[in-house]
């Protein structure tokens, strides 16, 4: 399986690039943010809990989000691979993801870290907020999301460096330019795995 973690600060383009990766490589997509927003729309118990955290720009507790991820993964058994978008966001989540994938005989193939300057992130999120209607796309919540990102999520770069699957991507420029860089990396992984299969 080609399992891809798409990583980066809020506004770095994870959702946009995930869509393009899915189409090009015929992969499934799990966005924990999307799962939570659906729960909120449907007014479920989980949605009510999620709403409290999301509106403050805080992360949901690890146990809760890991449980959600496990259920999503169970629904994608015959997949060619999954793009993980917005998960993991903490070291315990990354360790849990590895365990869940290992139990299914697979692992993370690559972690793509989208690098974007902070003022550009804020500009993009505010722009998105005009269309998305997302309650967390406002200046106050963005500040807390960026802080949470720096404190709790950014350390995952070190975790994936140690795993040997870290790959930085220049996340500025056009959507097509950025996708070009991502495609090049994923093409090389697909070729490598075909070589391994062919030559044992």
Distance in angstroms (rounded) separating the CA atoms of residues 182 and 144: 28
Tell me how far, at minimum, the Cβ of 124 lies from ligand AMP, in Å.
Answer: 12
Tell me how far, at minimum, the Cβ of 193 lies from ligand AMP, in Å.
Answer: 27
Q: Which of 182, 138, 146 is nearest to 24 (CA)?
A: 182
Contact residue for ligand AMP among 145, 156, 165, 167 (CB under 6 A): 145
Distance in angstroms (rounded) separating the CA atoms of residues 177 and 168: 14
Distance in angstroms (rounded) separating the CA atoms of residues 88 and 31: 10
Tell me how far, at minimum, the Cβ of 54 lies from ligand AMP, in Å.
Answer: 4
Residues with Cβ < 8 Å from 186, sequence gap 6 or more? 2, 4, 21, 24, 25, 110
Tell me how far, at minimum, the Cβ of 169 lies from ligand AMP, in Å.
Answer: 17
Residue numbers 146-175 binding ligand AMP by CB under 6 A: none
Residue numbers 43-102 binding ligand AMP by CB under 6 A: 53-54, 57-60, 65, 86-87, 89, 93
**Could you list the residues that contact ligand AMP (CB under 6 A)?**
10, 32-33, 36, 53-54, 57-60, 65, 86-87, 89, 93, 136, 145
């Amino acid at each position: 399986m080609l399992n891809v973690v798409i990583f980066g600060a809020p506004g770095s383009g994870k959702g946009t690039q995930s869509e393009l990766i899915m189409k090009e490589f015929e992969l499934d997509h799990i966005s924990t943010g999307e799962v939570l927003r659906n729960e909120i729309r449907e007014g479920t118990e989980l949605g009510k809990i999620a709403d409290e955290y999301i509106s403050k720009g805080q992360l949901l507790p690890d146990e809760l989000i890991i449980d959600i991820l496990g259920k999503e993964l169970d629904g994608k058994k015959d997949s060619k691979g999954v793009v993980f978008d917005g998960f993991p966001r903490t070291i315990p989540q990354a360790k849990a993801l590895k365990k869940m994938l290992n139990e299914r005989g697979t692992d993370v193939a690559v972690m793509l870290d989208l690098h974007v300057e902070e003022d550009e992130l804020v500009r993009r999120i505010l722009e998105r907020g005009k269309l998305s209607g997302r309650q967390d796309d406002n200046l106050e919540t963005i500040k807390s999301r960026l802080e949470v990102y720096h404190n709790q999520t950014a350390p995952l770069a070190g975790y994936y460096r140690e795993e040997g699957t870290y790959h930085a991507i220049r996340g500025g420029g056009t959507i097509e330019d950025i996708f070009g860089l991502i495609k090049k990396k994923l093409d090389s992984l697909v070729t490598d795995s075909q070589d391994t299969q062919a030559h044992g």
